[in-house]
Chain A
């Protein structure tokens, strides 16, 4: 029994109850001490720094023996005030903030945010077709990458390191494509209000076709590792159960809701970015457990590959078309080009504003420093994120900065299901249940 100092221990801490601290390999000593106390009911605090809590998530678990009688999730350990910060930057700069929320699904925040800004501006119909196709392609690739991480880290938390390495190998293909398109593997800031930052480089479509083959191969490999594995099935079948009524009441969306039997997908229910023109299915099952969520994520990877293939055909058809809205009052003036360091501003553009046109220089300067004005009002835009329905609430007061930007992150909402999924089960199942929610704390805490 120790009483280590806590920076945040309040007056409410019950000093009379015996307390133990475990930080590593001293479990034998602790279990022995607990056994001597003869107390069956213990409260375990797991995290926020714990390898199996999927990030800085804190779980407070009351146990009776090995059974979980109460489970509560504590969040806020990764709160960085992104929404507040956005109120002090221009609308375009906001993209670099939202991409850092759910860092495994950056493109979704970017797209949802840009769709919201475009709705506020009233230019939704002016977005070039090619930009929308690129957005869809990037989103579906991101969904594949995010699901690979979910499946991989989920396996890792069960103790299956090979599942983790296989998952990350699959995601690597996605990241390679992202680097090719945007120059960055994560936090791309690639989708911008009005279109995308720049057109795809030469050879992208061919590279993407090759990557899709590998992605399907790695997905199959991962399936072969998991789905029929008796240990994997024992750990996941029937675990983390939440039925449809519970999921609807708690506002759970995404694979968790679909595993409970409702094929609700924003891409079908309220299409955006032209999803109604793509041919794909929304996989659904009724097991309502962690195993079914794994199955659904595998199937969603395959459906996403199907959508990406369709976008590649369209990209070939629209090659050379603009990727940014025509309105020069909104479109970002600078263009990127590959310099000696691999990235840089377009020399043509610099020569134009510095040498030829004073007006172009003023225009560039005003748009970059001041930004564009967005008519006052509020909008709500949702997209189907890998983890559920992502909502963006934007309020403009007519200025060059968001008056308020709020993100309804799906994992923030879905974590509310922790108690329902864990209570009554074994303590080892808590890890599985949380992994099946697939929370990303960057998005939860923002």
Chain B
């Protein structure tokens, strides 16, 4: 697919075969037409099963400055003796935004390069946010880093996954001190352990709180409310369509 698109260009491109292992980020499946469950879908399409994909691994060219940024990053990674194909799991361009899926083992050098390389200069970190994808087997917990380059007026996103059994991701506080509280929040809410720092404590929940509330298997809680004779169940037990 990529050969067709880059076929007519004179400039030799960094082959995107280095991301040959790239695959779409499938986070689950959806069945039926209307999201109804419990046999109430009489449309005849109840057997449909579709994959839910949050990021499609994109073919080159990515467009705009995205190609250059990925090439620079791959180049410096190679100089440092890191195989870019291993560090960058895949590259997704979606809705005009660049997402790099980074192998957690290489997150720290990738951040260091993104911050320091003069062609990249993502010097402003806008924090870390966690996402829990129970359907993404083996990669359930994601930490998402939002980086901005004030110098070049660009921003990109790093998506780093860890399995629930081993929810560790190396800390980036040494490179982006701004991530300090954001990592604590992500630990607090998702239980992602950021290794290499000794002050990873809860920040929003009380110190002795059990569990990590924003995981999908953590209940929302709530009680039924009676109003004018009718009982309204708590929000997480109401009928849902998705």
A-B contact count (CB 8 A): 140
Chain B interface, number of residues (Cβ within 8 angstroms): 53
- Cβ-neighbour of A395 out of B35, B97, B127, B131 (below 8 A): B131
New contact pairs (7) apart from A251-B126, A380-B155, CB-CB < 8 Å:
A84-B220, A270-B153, A377-B54, A393-B146, A401-B240, A406-B130, A413-B181
Q: Are B157 and A380 in contact (CB under 8 A)?
A: yes
Q: Are B35 and A400 in contact (CB under 8 A)?
A: yes
Q: Are B204 and A445 in contact (CB under 8 A)?
A: yes
Question: What separation, in Å, do the CA atoms of A249 and B220 have in the docked complex?
Answer: 35
Interface membership of B206, Cβ < 8 A? yes
Interface membership of A379, Cβ < 8 A? yes
- Cβ-neighbour of A376 out of B54, B177, B202, B207 (below 8 A): B54
Q: Are B35 and A399 in contact (CB under 8 A)?
A: yes
| Residues of B74-131 whose CB lies within 8 A of A | 94-95, 97, 99, 123-127, 129-131
The smallest beta-carbon distance between A393 and chain B, in angstroms, is 5
Minimal Cβ-Cβ distance residue in B for A396: B54
List chain B residues, Cβ under 8 A from A79. Answer: 204-205
Q: Are B126 and A408 in contact (CB under 8 A)?
A: yes
Interface membership of B53, Cβ < 8 A? yes
Q: Are B144 and A393 in contact (CB under 8 A)?
A: yes
Given A10-B207, A76-B203, A76-B205: A269 touches B153 (CB 8 Å cut-off): yes
List chain A residues, Cβ under 8 A from B146. Answer: 380, 391, 393, 408
List chain A residues, Cβ under 8 A from B94. Answer: 377-378
Interface membership of A172, Cβ < 8 A? no
Interface membership of B232, Cβ < 8 A? no
Q: Are A75 and B129 in contact (CB under 8 A)?
A: no
- Cβ-neighbour of A75 out of B97, B127, B203 (below 8 A): B203
Q: Are B178 and A83 in contact (CB under 8 A)?
A: no
Interface membership of A352, Cβ < 8 A? no
Q: How large is the interface on A (under 10, 10 to 19, 20 to 34, 35 or more residues)?
A: 35 or more
CB-CB contacts of A347-373 with B at 8 A, as 1s and 0s?
Answer: 000000000000000000000001101
Q: Report which B residues bind A (CB closer than 8 A).
A: 27-28, 30, 35, 52-55, 94-95, 97, 99, 123-127, 129-132, 144, 146, 148, 150, 153, 155, 157, 176-182, 185, 189, 202-208, 213-214, 220, 235-236, 238, 240-242
Q: Are A249 and B177 in contact (CB under 8 A)?
A: yes
Interchain residue pairs with CB less than 8 A apart (13): A84-B213, A85-B220, A88-B236, A248-B124, A250-B177, A251-B179, A378-B144, A389-B126, A393-B146, A397-B28, A397-B52, A398-B30, A399-B242
CB-CB contacts of A402-417 with B at 8 A, as 1s and 0s?
Answer: 0110101000110110
Consensus secondary structure, chain B interface: mixed
Q: Are B241 and A370 in contact (CB under 8 A)?
A: yes
List chain A residues, Cβ under 8 A from B27. Answer: 376, 397
List chain B residues, Cβ under 8 A from A415. Answer: 181
The smallest beta-carbon distance between B212 and chain A, in angstroms, is 11
List chain B residues, Cβ under 8 A from A406. Answer: 129-131
Q: Are A248 and B123 in contact (CB under 8 A)?
A: yes
Q: Are A88 and B220 in contact (CB under 8 A)?
A: yes
List chain B residues, Cβ under 8 A from A249. Answer: 176-178
Interface membership of A203, Cβ < 8 A? no
The smallest beta-carbon distance between B134 and chain A, in angstroms, is 11
The smallest beta-carbon distance between A316 and chain B, in angstroms, is 33
Interface membership of A191, Cβ < 8 A? no
Question: What separation, in Å, do the CA atoms of A93 and B2 have in the docked complex?
Answer: 42
Question: What separation, in Å, do the CA atoms of A446 and B124 have in the docked complex?
Answer: 23
